Amino acid sequence: MNESCMLQRNNKGRLYILSAPSGTGKTTLCTSLLELVPNLKESVSFTTRKPRVGEIQDMDYTFISVEEFKLMLSGGQFIEWAEVFGNYYGTSFKRIEDILASGGDVLLDIDIQGVRQIKAKHTDAVFIFILPPSMETLEQRLRGRGKDSEEDIIKRLHVAKKEIMECVFYDYIIVNDLLDHALNQLQSIIISNRLRTDGIDYQWLENHFDIH
């Protein structure tokens, strides 16, 4: 994508929220999208869960203790937070606002519990829900990744059904059957939102077309 051919935007980025049941492929989509789309950045979330094999501090998550998390929570430092499977997750107000203020767009991988909180605070955010092709495919993916116990898999499938019922409250729904297809759809959503009139730099418009 050639940024020089695009309209000049104002100096305020947009917030994109992605939600999906565990095992849908959301993390892979987010990683690929960040590589493809210029000026799209990730705000690293805080969590109290233990790092998984290969995860890096302040890149995948900022791993902190329960005590540290609760201290930040009491200080109002999270735009959203949730408890998922006994662990706490939270998104920093400051990290998001710093990126948006610099003109960057922010991509957040957020559990559905946190979406309700963000909807009340960021009315111009874009909400995208990623669906698996079917519950059978989702179960196969959960078992195939070899990260969860049988008890956890059953629990995640039960939670997934409840989460899928919430997808109608999002702005966009994408089925992640073929990764490239789903990725192209995500990229199209961001490009189309960057062309919205409420994101255009009107000073640039006046100067470029001499319409003072």
Q: What is the pLDDT of residues 62-83, one digit of tens each?
A: 999 999 999 999 999 999 998 8
Classify residue 147: in a domain, yes or no.
yes
- Whether 197 shows a pLDDT value over 80: the answer reads yes
Residue numbers of the domain that contains 112: 12-208
Predicted pLDDT at 8: 79
Whole-number pLDDT of residue 198: 86
pTM above 0.85, yes or no: no
| Rounded (10°) angle between helices 179-194 and 26-36 | 50
**Alpha helix (H) ranges present in the chain?**
26-36, 66-74, 93-101, 112-119, 135-145, 150-164, 179-194, 202-208
DSSP letters spanning 174-191:
EE-SSHHHHHHHHHHHHH
Bridge partners, 74 (sequence order)? none
Q: Which of 148, 167, 168, 165 is nearest to 156 (CA)?
A: 148
pLDDT at 1: 45
Between CA 28 and CA 207 the distance in angstroms is 41
Answer whether residue 200 is part of any domain. yes
Q: Per the domain annotation, does 42 fall within a domain? A: yes
- The answer to whether residue 37 scores a pLDDT higher than 80 is yes
In a domain, 1, yes or no: no
Range with lowest mean pLDDT among 7-11, 99-103, 199-203: 7-11
CATH number for the domain harbouring residue 134: 3.40.50.300
Which residues on neighbouring strands pair with residue 113, listed in sequence order? none
Q: Residue 158: its pLDDT value, please?
A: 92
What is the count of structural domains for the chain? 1
Does residue 2 form part of some domain? no
Partners of 83 in the β-ladder: 88
